[in-house]
């Protein structure tokens, strides 16, 4: 009979925290040139979409890598 591996809550918390930082950084790096070049205005739906899309991508990547890291 195989034992199910228990997740370490601290490692999981840190893993999620790192991905939130990655999402924010990635979103900001994409947002900054779009905003500075007046492709969209601050607070516009396009700025929200930039962060929503990067959040979706970050969530998919975080889930994929979580399974690989065996936290």
Q: What is the pLDDT of residues 5-33, one digit of tens each?
A: 677 899 999 999 999 999 999 999 999 99
What pLDDT score was predicted for residue 52?
A: 97
Mean pLDDT computed over every residue of the chain: 91
pLDDT at 45 over 70: yes
pLDDT score at 3: 59
Q: Is residue 38 part of a domain?
A: yes
pLDDT of residue 1: 54
- Distances, alpha carbon 39 to alpha carbons 33, 34, 55, 57, in Å: 8, 5, 20, 22
Structural domain includes residue 3: no
Residue 47 inside a domain? The answer is yes
Residue 56 lies in a domain: yes
Q: Residue 48 sits in which domain range? A: 14-69
Question: Coil, strand, or helix at residue 44?
Answer: coil
The number of distinct structural domains making up the chain is: 1
Residue 49 resides in a domain: yes
**Is 71 or 11 the better-scoring residue by pLDDT?**
11
């Amino acid at each position: 009979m195989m034992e199910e591996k228990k997740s370490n809550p601290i490692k999981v918390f840190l893993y999620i925290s790192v991905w939130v930082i990655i999402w924010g950084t990635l979103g900001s790096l994409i947002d900054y040139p779009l905003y500075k070049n007046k492709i969209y205005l601050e607070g516009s739906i396009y700025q929200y979409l930039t962060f929503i899309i990067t959040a979706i991508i970050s969530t998919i990547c975080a889930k994929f890598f979580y399974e690989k890291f065996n936290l």
